[in-house]
Amino acid sequence: MKTIVVLTVLLAAATLADAARKPNVIVILADDMGYADVGFNGCKDIPTPHIDSLAAHGVRCSSGYVSHSFCSPTRAGLMTGRYQQRFGHENNPAWLPEDTKVGLPVNQTTIADVMKSAGFVTGAIGKWHLGAAPCFHPNERGFVEYFGFLGGGHIYLPGLKGGVEYTVPLLRNKEPLELKEYMTDVLSREAAAFVARHKTEPFYLYVAYNAVHTPLQAPGKYLSRFTSIADERRRAYAAMTSAMDDGIGLILRALRDNGLERDTLVWFFSDNGGPPYNVSPTHNDPLRGNKGTLYEGGIRVPFVVQWRGELPEGTVYEQPVISLDVLPTAATLAGAKLPGGLKLDGVNIVPHLKGESKGPPHERLFWRTGGGAAWAVREGRYKLLKPGKDAALQLFDLNSDIGEAKDIVSEKPDVVARLQKAHDAWNTELIPPLFESPKPAAKKKARQAGRTK
């Protein structure tokens, strides 16, 4: 009898301790990865066992979206849980370390601010791309620890050539460091070390690989895995992907070794779809379009969420979810108090992934690029799209036509009118872009010489 009482008390104490433990959150972001370049989406020539293990032990979101079709605006949305066009972050910031206007506006609350206020240790590793001036530094945006580079990309191997933005020193917080090894390996090791270092306290860790963005660079130890791929560029891309997958394996092992696997929600997705093959040798099939477009190939990405013991394992969730959902999900799990008046566009998706909430997380999702030159709305099975300036509207039924091959705009005038109206209402809540993306150097040179068409 006595034993039973003691056991009951112990069990109650254990339950209390479990209830008090808030799950860690890790967001692993790939850069410019194609929809079909991961095993769980059917990739055949590049094995990605560790990324696939997230899908095997978690939920694959087959309609997982990002809020923009290219780098920096997606990151601004992820960081704030808000459509980034609400605060004018609709383009890539130029590399301007003196410019305090070109970056994630400092009046925006970040996920790191929120998680820090809830008692989490916050860390960012890798590519930043949210402004190069001191006021935009991750340490000023809620991240207690930072290791990475502030621009939109970087060379991967010591000594290789590149522009200023791609060759700046690495930073540990604000301390410059030399790149001495393969970038992807360095970032992975830093991420695993962060996990081990903070195993006893709740943490939010943002791991933003520049892989598999160009330049296509990988050392022999990864290239040698892909001698069967004849196309040299695809071989390099495969090696980069494989290195990132190894790194993700290292991070997941750090969770297991430190007994944190069941206490950690892990997200993995790409910041946008794969670029056209001549820019980077990616595959987005069966999706149409690429990075930069609002066809599915620009915004629907490999997307998976793992939380062992909490989320169902090896399942597929088909309702649309979006990168904007990360902040509200993490904040809810952390019990964080959000600043008053903060309007979030994402939602906590855990009850949806668990099957407790049956309805879709979002009635509609919206996209806008170029200050409105292109836009799209997804509502249920339908997507209304204006693919570019002066382009005609297109309507697709994504349930029957994931490849957006059959424009049904003339068949469904009622749907077109409803989605157009929803877009117009959303659009009135946005502001014009605060800054423009840097123009490619060749174009700029030509323009300066007065030779642009």
Binding site for Ca ion (CB under 5 A): 31-32, 71, 271-272
Q: Where are the alpha helices (DSSP H) in 81-133?
A: 111-117
**Closest CB to Ca ion: residue number:** 71
Contact 71, 299 (CB under 8 A): no
Nearer to Ca ion, 71 or 112 (CB): 71
Active-site hit among 68, 89, 129, 154: 129
Phi, psi dihedrals of residue 176, rounded to the nearest 5°: -70, 145
Return the half-sphere exposure (C-beta side, CA atoms, 13 A cut-off) of residue 401. 12
**129 tagged catalytic:** yes
Q: How many Cβ atoms from other residues are within 10 Å of residue 181's Cβ?
A: 12
Pairing of strands 121-127, 59-61: unpaired
Measured CA distances, 128 to 14, 170, 218, 334, 411 (Å): 39, 11, 21, 24, 44
Q: How far is the CB of 360 from Ca ion (least distance, A)?
A: 27
Rounded CA-CA distance 154/182 in Å is 11
283 included as an active-site residue: no
Closer CB to Ca ion, 71 or 251, in the complex: 71
Minimum distance from CB of 127 to Ca ion (Å)? 9
Total Cβ atoms within 10 A of residue 417? 11
Shortest spacing between CB 64 and Ca ion, in angstroms: 15
Integer Cα distance of 153 and 126 in angstroms:
9
The least distance separating Ca ion from the CB of residue 298, rounded to whole angstroms, comes to 10
Give least dist CB 213 to Ca ion, A.
6
Q: Is the Cβ of residue 248 or residue 265 nearer to Ca ion in the bound state?
A: 248
Helices (H) then strands (E): counts for the chain: 13, 16
- Within 8 A by CB and 6+ apart from 197, the residues are none
Rg of the chain's alpha carbons, rounded to an integer? 22
Structural contact between residues 337 and 320, judged by C-beta atoms closer than 8 angstroms: no
Instruction: Give the nearest distance from C-beta 151 to Ca ion in angstroms.
Output: 12
Going 66 to 69 to 75 to 79, the CA torsion angle's sign is negative
| φ, ψ of residue 270 in degrees (nearest 5) | -100, 150
Cα–Cα–Cα angle for 118, 119, 125, rounded to 5 degrees: 100
Tell me how far, at minimum, the Cβ of 245 lies from Ca ion, in Å: 18
Q: Is the dihedral of CA 371, 437, 142, 346 positive or negative?
A: positive
State the minimum distance, in angstroms, from the CB of residue 70 to Ca ion: 6
DSSP string over 238-272: HHHHHHHHHHHHHHHHHHHHTT-GGGEEEEEEESS
Q: Which of 43, 50, 57, 71 is catalytic?
A: 71
What length is written for the chain? Answer: 453
**Residue 324 corresponds to which tokens in the numbers above?**
């904007």
Active site residues: 71, 129
